[in-house]
Structure 1
């Protein structure tokens, strides 16, 4: 599988793993302290061929993703589930994901809409038990996997759903598909 866009990853090990999964060019952020020069390279890459952000499913990875999104709005996002990016010792990173999981993430990229677009409200997420309730965290994790938007707390989930244009119907359908899953 060949990917035309540049794929932004955190480090050399991520690049090696992603290049084993797909044919692509990568840009490395070299950790969470992403500098202005790297942001400029990402912006230039976005203008020429497009960019897909594929960072680790952890706090530093989310921080990098948010920094890039603010500097280069419109980049695409690919997410690997936290459980699929763990090694035997519990360390999390793209470099630990199976090649098939990397391919799946890259086949399910999302592009955010402009800010200010609200396709779903906080009240709907509360009614669906995604923000408040004993199983809210687990429901958010299931929804994140189903919609390929990664893990989120309640506020982040609302922002992601609106950014990617998911509707109440999309969320209800995804949750009903997961009714057989353990809660």
Structure 2
């Protein structure tokens, strides 16, 4: 079994489910569940070393705070953004999320969009 090279960090389970249903390639999706402890962050920093990390959080105040924290801890990560009008990843249309993922070279199931 090959090791998964791409990791997407999201806020909640509903975000994770939505992305899982769209992604066609092996990608690890990690939920922060809103906040992350220092210990958990240190664990992730070690586990995600040498992986392609993407950060896809909500376009709201809590999401921006989390994005700032993750930007400090994962300076190499690529930040993906949903349109502000949707506010939450889970609330954004599948087609919009698919476009965001495709823009980051993450393969998605395009046939059901």
TM-score interval, normalised by the smaller of the two chains = 0.7 to 0.9
Partner Cα separation in structure 2 for residue 50 and residue 44 of structure 1: 13
Structure 1 residue 45 displacement after superposition: 4.2
Q: Which runs of 5+ in 2 are unaligned?
A: 105-113
Q: Which residue of 2 aligns with 1:96?
A: 91
RMSD: 1.9
Q: Which residue of 1 aligns with 2:109?
A: none
**Considering only CA atoms, is the larger Rg found in Structure 1 or Structure 2?**
1
Structure having the larger proportion of residues in strand: 2
Whether the aligned pair in 2 keeps the contact of 1:20 and 1:99 (CA below 8 Å) is no
Matched, 1:55 2:57: yes
Partner Cα separation in structure 2 for residue 107 and residue 52 of structure 1: 12
Give the TM-score normalised by structure 2.
0.76
Partner Cα separation in structure 1 for residue 55 and residue 73 of structure 2: 13
Quickly say closer, same or farther: Cα 1:107–1:34, change in 2 above 3 A: same
Correspondences of 1:27-66 after superposition (within 5 Å): 27-31=30-34, 33-66=35-68
Structure 1 residue 48 displacement after superposition: 3.5
Structure having the larger proportion of residues in helix: 1
- Which range is displaced more, 94-103 or 54-63? 94-103
> How many residue pairs get matched?
99
Q: 1:129-166 CA deviation, whole Å, 9 max, x = no partner?
A: xxxxxxxxxxxxxxxxxxxxxxxxxxxxxxxxxxxxxx
